Amino acid sequence: MKGVLILDCISVGLLGLGTVGTGVIRIIENHQEQLSHQIGCPIIVKKVLVQNVHKERAIKIDPSVLTTDPNDIINNPEIDVVIEVIGGVEPTKEWLIQALRNKKHIVTANKDLLALHGPELLKIAKANGCDLFYEASVAGGIPLLRTLAEGLASDRITRMMGIVNGTTNYILTKMSKGGTSYEVALQEAQAKGFAEADPTADVEGLDAARKMAILAGLGFSTQIELADVKVKGITSVTESDIEYAKQFGYTIKLIGIADRKNEKIEVSVEPVLLPLSHPLSSVNDEYNAVFVYGEAVGKTMFFGPGAGSLPTATSVVSDLVAVMKNMRLGVNGTHLFSPQYEKCLKRDEEIILRYFIRLLIKDEVGSFAQIATEFANHGISLKRILQHPIHPRETAEIVVTTHRSSLANFEKVFHRLESLGTIQTIKSIYRIEGEDE
C-alpha cells in the first residue's frame, strides 16, 4: 500500500491571465494558508502565459513570472500542474496534449475544447497517469460535475434540465421583467461584461450546447458529441412572444435538457416555456441553475453564479486541490471519467413534448378549422387557444398550446402548416417544459 507523499510545494503554470486567470491568482494568494492546510504544502505560481508582459493588470504580479512562450510552462520540468484558462481549441489542444505527455496534470475551464476533444484528452491523460479536471467548464462556480461524479455516483441519473448560460438568461430577464427589446438587452449585457463583443456563441445557444454535451456525457456515462445536441438560440425571441407566454402562465428561458429513458438519450438547448411557478422561472440575470433527477435521490437543484472571475476561479482552484490531494496519495489518473455505456440517441418518434405556437392566418371562415384538422390528423390535440384579430381585419393571430405528442408528429404538422394557403406566417414555435399532464 502506498503511503502519503510529503511534498515541499506544488508548482503551477497558468495559461492565461484574463478574467478567470486573475481570479485564480487572487484566490491562491488570499487563501494560501487554508489551501496549504488542506494539501500539506504551499502553492507556487511558477509561470503565467500572457500576450503582453508589459500590460497594466488588475493584480500585482512579479514580471519575471510572466512569459509569452507557452513552452516555458508546458515543457518546464519544475511545473507540476498546468491550469488552462486561455480558451479556444487551437493551439490550446496541442499545448495540453504536450503537457500531459510531459506528465503534467491539467485543470481547465475550456468548455469548447472539452466538448469537441474531451475523450481524446482524457485518454491521453490516463495513459500518462495524469489528472484532467474541468469543473469550471460547465456552470462557473456551481460544483455540478463533481457532484455528478462523486456525490451522486451511487445513483442513476435520468434527466438534467437547467439554465447554463448567464448571458442569455440576463437578456431574457431584461426582456421579461423590464419590457426591454432584445437588441437593447444585449447591449446592456455587453456593457456589464456578461456578453462578449461577438455574442454569437451565447445567443445562438452554442455555449450552452457545449456545456450540455459535457454534462450529459458525465451524467449518463456515455460519449456525447456536440453534434448530438439539438440547438436553437434566443435571437428570434420577441417581446410579443414573452407577453403571450405570460398570458398563458409561462416565462421563456434558454434551457438545456438532457433526458434518458429506456437507455435512449436526448440532448437539446432551446428557448423553452416554463410555468411561472417553476423554480427555474425565478432564476434571473446572469445566474445559472440546473435540476438533476436521480432514480434514488429524486429531484435536486443546483444554483449559483454561472460566470465571473472569482466564482469560476473557485471551481478551478477546487480542481487544483483535488489534483494535489491525488499527488500526495499517488493516485493521479485513476479517477478520470470513462464512458460505461454505448451512446444511443432517441429517434424523433421517441421524443415526447408539448409546444406553444403563434400563427398569423387569414381571418376568414374555415381557416382555423383547417389548422385544427391538420393537428388532429397527426394525432396532436390542442390544449389552449387564443385568437386575436389584427387590423386590417383580413388577418388574425392564433396562439395555441398543445398536449403531448412525438417530435416526429410535430415536424410533420409544421411542414403541412407551412404549405397551407390560409396561414400567412408561423411567427414562433417553442417547447413547453416543467409541468405534468
pLDDT of residue 437: 45
pLDDT band, residue 97 (cuts 50/70/90): very high
Please check the confidence at residue 195 and state whether its pLDDT lies above 90: no
Q: Which run of H or E residues covers position 82? A: strand 81-84
DSSP per-residue string spanning 334-388: SS-----S---BPPGGG-EEEEEEEEEEE-STTHHHHHHHHHHHTT--EEEEEEE
Sign of CA dihedral 265, 267, 273, 279: positive
d(CA 270, CA 209): 9
d(CA 310, CA 292): 25
Which one is catalytic: 47, 104, 174, 211? 211
Amino acid at 239: E
d(CA 388, CA 396): 6
Contacts of 368 (CB under 8 A, 6+ apart): 361, 387, 398
Query: Cβ-count burial of 171 within 10 angstroms (0-12 exposed, 13-18 middle, 19+ buried)?
Result: buried
Give alpha helix (H) positions in 42-143.
71-74, 92-101, 111-127, 136-139
Between the alpha carbon of residue 4 and those of residues 135, 204, 324, 327, the distances in Å are 25, 48, 12, 9
Average pLDDT over residues 207-231: 94
Amino acid at 241: D
Please check the confidence at residue 308 and state whether its pLDDT lies above 80: no
What's the half-sphere exposure (Cβ side, CA atoms, 13 Å) at 193?
Answer: 6
Q: How far apart are the first and last CA of the chain?
A: 56
d(CA 396, CA 220): 45
Fold (CATH) for 147-305? Dihydrodipicolinate Reductase; domain 2 (3.30.360)
Segments of the chain assigned to CATH 3.30.360.10: 147-305
DSSP per-residue string spanning 216-252: HHHHTTS---GGGSEE--STT--HHHHHHHHHTTEEE
Q: Are 198 and 190 in contact (CB under 8 A)?
A: no
d(CA 51, CA 364): 65
| CATH of segment(s) 351-432 | 3.30.70.260
Strands 395-402 and 352-362: antiparallel
| Lowest model confidence (mean pLDDT) among 206-220, 278-292, 295-309 | 295-309
Average pLDDT over residues 285-300: 93
Whether 174 sits among the annotated catalytic residues: the reply is: no
Look up residue 6 and give its DSSP letter: P
d(CA 108, CA 176): 34
Sole residue written with cell 451512446: 343
Please check the confidence at residue 1 and state whether its pLDDT lies above 70: no
Q: What is the pLDDT of residues 222-235, one digit of tens each?
A: 999 999 999 999 99
Fold (CATH) for 10-140+309-329? Rossmann fold (3.40.50)
Sole residue written with cell 416543467: 434
Contacts of 91 (CB under 8 A, 6+ apart): 70
| Lowest model confidence (mean pLDDT) among 199-203, 214-218, 309-313, 380-384 | 309-313
Q: What is the pLDDT of residues 369-388, one digit of tens each?
A: 889 999 999 999 999 998 87
Between the alpha carbon of residue 304 and those of residues 73, 153, 288, the distances in Å are 32, 22, 6
From 278, 314, 336, 326, select the one nearest 121 (Cα to Cα): 336
Please check the confidence at residue 317 and state whether its pLDDT lies above 50: yes
From edge to edge, which strands make up the β-sheet containing 66-67? 66-67, 43-49, 10-15, 81-84, 105-108, 132-133
Whether residue 70 has a cis bond before it, omega within 30° of 0: no
pLDDT of residue 239: 94
Average pLDDT value for the chain: 91
pLDDT of residue 98: 98
